[in-house]
Amino acid sequence: MTIRPFTIETPDSALADLKRRLERTRWPDQIPGSRWDYGADSAYMRELAGYWQNSFDWRRQERMLNEFDQFKAEIDGQDVHFVRRRGRGPNPIPLLLLHGWPSTFFEFYKIVGPLADPAAHGGDPADAFDIVAPSLPGYGFSDAPQVRGAGVAWIADRLGRLMTGVLGYERFAAHGGDWGAAVTNRLAVAFPRQVIGIHVTRALSRGAPSPKKPLSPEAQQRRERLARFQREEYGYAEIQRTKPQSLAYGLNDSPVGLAAWIVEKWRRWTDCGGEVERVFTKDELLTNVMIYWLSGAINSSARLYYEEFHQPTRVPKGQRIDVPMGAAFFPKDFAPPPRQDAERVYSDIRRWTVFQEGGHFPALERPDVLVDELRAFFQPLRS
């Protein structure tokens, strides 16, 4: 396993090709007044594409991303890309920050500094972390897995070895949302002696064994919310877990198609009142999309759904997670499970926070809140 510095260096030819493709977009029709009801709104996507083509400065965003120290580590013949920021404090905890879909390591750009160097951001140096923020294998600038079965367990194994075998940490912590939460949970199972604690924004749960026991009001409410999500919002996942390759031909070829597929989710899963730019700028939305476009990672990122649908590898049935666990839930994200159901999976829940605002991408949407939450959860674990 080797490690080497990495810098994002986009060829001019790739940007010229992107501009030509944006100019030649073949726009679909849309029912007048339907806006986002059928999917990504044509008027907004035309506005975003026009900004992308004429005003968006990728070179400026590239320079911003390259201000972070980035590396690639070769593990089993494939590269894993990651940002690393050393903590400035008396006893920094090594902390993995793990994104999900359709996100990238860029999601954490606002919290890396405050977590690594609290004193420079009005905090206590005692709360410092050594930050490692990878691109999940198959995402961004990490290599795409070239084998079947590269699911959550496969990813967790490589990221655990990145922290221990490559970076040399004897113990480390992890935080994740979406697929990052699934990988975080799996790390606790696969590396129980090395993992100090885990923090997630999506918790596992296991219902009571008796089918005759009536559901609590909280559990019934969550069931109804999940049923609504399955009916109205789950189409993307059904496609990605069954036929991701067919989808990829269009998204890998059309930048507007890719942006529509991703930005629609950023709008829907964000606490933005239906106006995505109340929370994220066009530059932020497009920087995330650009990482998918330039790396060609939309197919391999979607393939993770296929792998986990056909061969789930997260936490084995009946097994419990014994390392200290904390969770934070945001109202526009997936509904939290009843705590008593989560306690059947996690034997040591230390923190369970339900916020009144926020959504699926809290590191970018509510960075101050997430930084405070992570500091508070890990503070008792530092000794």
> Which pLDDT belongs to residue 287?
98
d(CA 149, CA 83) in angstroms, rounded, equals 26
Is residue 212 predicted with pLDDT exceeding 90?
Answer: no
> Which pLDDT belongs to residue 154?
97
DSSP string across 154-200: HHHHHHHHIIIIIS--SSEEEEE-THHHHHHHHHHHH-TTTEEEEEE
Mark whether 305 is an active-site residue.
yes
Mark whether 372 is an active-site residue.
no
Residues 6+ apart with CB under 8 A from 238: none
Q: Which of 2-6, 137-141, 260-264 has the lowest mean pLDDT?
A: 2-6
Mark whether 360 is an active-site residue.
yes
Contact (CB, 8 A) for 138 and 150? yes
φ and ψ at residue 150, rounded to 5 degrees: -80, 75
Q: In terms of residues, how long is the chain? A: 383
Is residue 19 predicted with pLDDT exceeding 70?
Answer: yes
Catalytic one among 169, 236, 292, 305? 305
> Which pLDDT belongs to residue 1?
66
pLDDT, tens digit, 9 for 90 and up, residues 328-342:
999 999 889 999 999
| Whether this model's pTM surpasses 0.85 | yes
Domains and CATH numbers, the chain: 2-26+39-381 (3.40.50.1820)
112: confidence class by pLDDT, cuts 50, 70, 90: very high
pLDDT, tens digit, 9 for 90 and up, residues 146-180:
999 999 999 999 999 999 999 999 999 999 999 99
Catalytic one among 41, 157, 178, 333? 178
> Which pLDDT belongs to residue 227?
85
Question: In this structure, are strands 78-85 and 172-176 parallel, antiparallel, or unpaired?
Answer: unpaired
Residues 6+ apart with CB under 8 A from 271: 279, 330, 331, 332, 357, 358, 359, 365
> Which pLDDT belongs to residue 215?
73
Give the mean pLDDT of the chain. Answer: 95
Contact (CB, 8 A) for 133 and 167? no
361: confidence class by pLDDT, cuts 50, 70, 90: very high
Catalytic one among 81, 99, 199, 360? 360
d(CA 296, CA 303) in angstroms, rounded, equals 13
CA 215 to chain centre: 31
